[in-house]
Amino acid sequence: MPAEDSSSLNDKELFNTTYTITALQKAKQKSYITVNLAPEGRLTLPDVVCARLKLEVGQNLSKDEFFELKKEEVYYQVKEKAYHLLELRPLTILQLKTKLKERLYPLKTINNVIRELKASGLLNDIEYATEWIKSQLKRKPQGKRLLLSGLLKKGLPRSKATELIAEVYPDKEELKVCQRCLTKLSQLNPQAKPSKILTALIRRGFSQAIIQRVWTQFKKNQGRS
C-alpha cells in the first residue's frame, strides 16, 4: 500500500483543526476581552460580543467558528479606528474610506463599518459639506468655483455639492464678497494692472460672470470719483 502523501496529511490536519479557549482576560482596551486559544492564537473582542456568544474557558471552537470570530475582531478593529479618526476631525465618507484603506483593512469590512456609521448619523456628508463651506468662507473670501473644487476632492457628487453651495452661499452674497476682494486688491496695489487684479479674482474661484459684473461697477465708481 503506498505511503500517504505528507502534504495531504497536513491538509487534513489543518482542516480538522479545532481551538480551545484557555483563558478570557480583560484587554488593555476598555470593554474588550482577550480570548487565548490552544493550540495557539488569541482574539480581542468586545465584552458584549463575548457575552452574546457565551464564550467560556474550555469551550472548543471549530475552524469555521474561529474564522467567524476573527471577522468580528477585524470588524471592531476597523470600527474603533474609524471612531478615532472621526474624533480627530470631521471627515467625508471618501476621506474616511481612504484612510481606512491605507491601513490595509478588508474593503468589505470598511464598507460595512461605513454603512453603520452613516445609519447612526456619525458620518454625514451633507452636514460636513455645509459646515466646511461656512468655515472656508470665514477663513478666506472665495468664489463658488473654488468651493466646488474642494468638495469634489472630498468625494461629494457634483450635483449635491453645487446644490449645497447655492444654499449656503447665494449669488448675491458671492457678488458682495467679490466686490470686497476687488476693492481690497486695488487698495493694496493701486498701480497694479487690471489683468493682475482680475487674475487674482479668478484664482480665488470667482466666475467670469461675477468678475465682469463687479469690474464694470468698479470702473463706473472710479469714473464718478
Across the range 8-15, mean pLDDT stands at 46
If DSSP codes are grouped into helix, strand and coil, which group holds residue 4?
A: coil
Written as one letter, the residue type at 184 is K
Residue 7 has pLDDT above 70, yes or no: no
Across the range 114-118, mean pLDDT stands at 98
Q: What is the pLDDT of residue 8?
A: 41
131-164 tens-digit pLDDT:
999 999 999 999 999 999 999 999 999 999 999 9
pLDDT class of 4 with cuts at 50, 70, 90: very low
**Neighbouring residues of 100: CB distance < 8 A, sequence distance ≥ 6:** 78, 81, 82, 85, 110, 113
3-state helix/strand/coil string of 163-224: HHHHHHCCHHHHHHHHHHHHHHHHHHCCCCCHHHHHHHHHHCCCCHHHHHHHHHHHHHHHHH
Verdict on whether the full-model pTM lies above 0.75: yes
CB 169 within 8 A of CB 144: yes
188-219 tens-digit pLDDT:
888 889 999 999 999 999 999 999 999 999 98
Calculate ∠ Cα 124-129-132, nearest 5°.
Answer: 125
* Adjacent-strand bridge partners of 21: 37
Between 90 and 4, residue with greater pLDDT = 90
Ranking 31-35, 36-40, 180-184, 217-221 by mean pLDDT, the lowest is 217-221
Q: What is the pLDDT of residue 190?
A: 87
What percent of the chain has pLDDT above 90?
86
Q: What is the pLDDT of residue 2?
A: 43
Written as one letter, the residue type at 85 is L
Residue 6 has pLDDT above 50, yes or no: no
pLDDT class of 222 with cuts at 50, 70, 90: confident
166: which 3 cell numbers?
Answer: 447655492
CB 100 within 8 A of CB 73: no
191: which 3 cell numbers?
Answer: 498701480
